[in-house]
Amino acid sequence: MNRQILGYALFAIVAALLPSFGIYPIFVMKILCYALFACAFNLLLGYVGLLSFGHAAFLGSAAYASGHAIKMWGLSPELGILYGVLISAMLGFVIGGLAIRRSGIYFTMITLAMSQMVFFFFLQAPFTGGEDGLQGVPRGHLFGLLDLKNDLNLYYMVVGIFMIGYFICWRTVNSPFGQVLKAIKENEPRAISLGYDVDKYKLLAFVLSAAIAGLAGSTKTLVFVSATLSDAMWQMSGMVVLMTLIGGVGTFTGPVIGAFIVVMLENKIGDFGRMIADTTGMQWFSSLGESVTIVMGLIFIICVMAFRKGIVGELSHFFTAKQSKSQ
């Protein structure tokens, strides 16, 4: 617990100092939103063993719900975020209630199918703006006091939201409820024989994961003052799987590291390619920015082949093995 508190304090100090080093706050906020989304997904895959290909539905539903509530109903930012979280949790209850009746690939395909249904609903619904998305969402004032039009004020709010979401994930896993979830993942028949209502625990974990994903989606809407169809597309579900696997499934910091790597690749691969082209004289590298998907796919393959437990998982295994040898 003391180590966790120290980690939180260190993160808060680093996050508070980042803007003073000239780092663009919007870029960091994007990383934090996706990191929280990945943490929500990891809660389900890493600690319950359920692979969902429909988590984009929760990110997108919360993004649209909070954006519509803030823009059209005039809700304050904090109420709009809570409304988005509530909608994603309710959607998680519906999808989870159907999906947990099956396991393995059947569970995964049900979540994917339901997510696609949600996507087409957003595509055709009149309040979403169709392919243009919901634009011009006002940031407003947090609790009527803090002006979120100021990027720095919004940045510190997003840091606080991320820390709350991360703490919820950590506390869930390290609670008696979390121990049951781990037991279900490791040996479900044994958990059933011990008298646990496995379906109820799975559903609760699914709803909690959906709610945290919704928290990320609602926050992302305030950051970019818009909600678009890309938030609810199946590619977003694939991206969160990529973030989690690269960082390390079943670790707390793994999804955060994975989100950082993926967002960095999306935004900086073009600059990196031009730098290599200028250094080597090979102009082919200058077109790397147009091939982000291919580059990310190659990196994913390399990480899966070389780091099967993810970056954080492999590092943790290495240091644990080294420590045991020294003893």
117-150 per-position pLDDT tens digit: 999 998 888 888 888 888 888 888 888 888 888 8
**DSSP three-state, residue 255:** helix
pLDDT, position 234:
84
CA dist 104 and 112 (Å) reads 13
pLDDT, position 8:
67
The neighbour count for residue 246, using CB atoms within 10 Å, is 28
Mean of all residue pLDDT scores within the chain: 84
Residue 227's H or E segment, with its range, is: strand 226-227
CA dihedral for 298, 299, 301, 305, sign (positive or negative): positive
pLDDT, position 219:
93
pLDDT, position 285:
61
pLDDT, position 270:
66
Residues 6+ apart with CB under 8 A from 59: 37, 88, 213, 214, 216, 217, 220, 231, 232, 236
Residues 6+ apart with CB under 8 A from 135: 129, 225, 226
Average pLDDT for 288-301: 71
pLDDT band at 111 (very low <50, low <70, confident <90, very high): very high
Q: In this model, does residue 98 exceed pLDDT 60?
A: yes
pLDDT, position 293:
72
- Is the full-model pTM beyond 0.75? yes
Residue % of the chain over a pLDDT of 90: 30
pLDDT, position 85:
94
Spatial contact of 119 and 231, defined as CB atoms under 8 Å apart: no
